[in-house]
Amino acid sequence: MIENDVYDILTIESCLEKRNALGGVAPQQVAYAVDQAEKRLTARDNSAVKVRSARLTDIDALESMVAYWANLGENLPRSRNELVRDIGSFAVAEHHGEVTGCASLYVYDSGLAEIRSLGVEAGWQGQGRERRLFSTW
């Protein structure tokens, strides 16, 4: 019978054995990959990253980041005039003088607040800049 011929291939145990044999998605391989990623994250030197209030000299970097994330649909677009007007509500993350992240805090009359225009330059994501930007408020 055909069912008897293919049944072993369709069992969960058979699939897991194949994954173990091939690596990549085997539980041991996944655990190893996670361990290595944690070691790399721990080894990163973020001491050169600082968060500060934005300045008018940061407008080009802010405009670029805000436009990038708005084009991806993650943030609302902001004009250069809006950025200049609201510069006092922005904080930036910088690494060796290069602006690598930004966020704005807008406080409503009702006492509620909204984080706006949060963005981190490509290549600098996942290194804690977003969290550090939040901690400025």
Reported confidence tier of residue 68, pLDDT bands at 50, 70, 90: very high
39 lies in which domain range?
2-43
Q: What is the CATH number of the domain that holds 55?
A: 3.40.630.30
Query: What is the tally of structural domains in the chain?
Result: 2
**C-alpha distances out from residue 104 to 24, 90, 93, 101, 132, Å:** 41, 4, 12, 11, 13
- Kindly tell me if the per-residue pLDDT of 134 is higher than 70: no
Assess whether 67 and 12 both reside in one domain: no
Assess whether 125 and 63 both reside in one domain: yes
- Kindly tell me if the per-residue pLDDT of 135 is higher than 70: no
Reported confidence tier of residue 56, pLDDT bands at 50, 70, 90: very high
Assess whether 53 and 38 both reside in one domain: no
Highest mean pLDDT among 39-48, 59-68, 115-124 belongs to 59-68
Is the distance from CB of 90 to CB of 53 less than 8 angstroms?
Answer: yes
Assess whether 84 and 118 both reside in one domain: yes
pTM of the model: 0.61
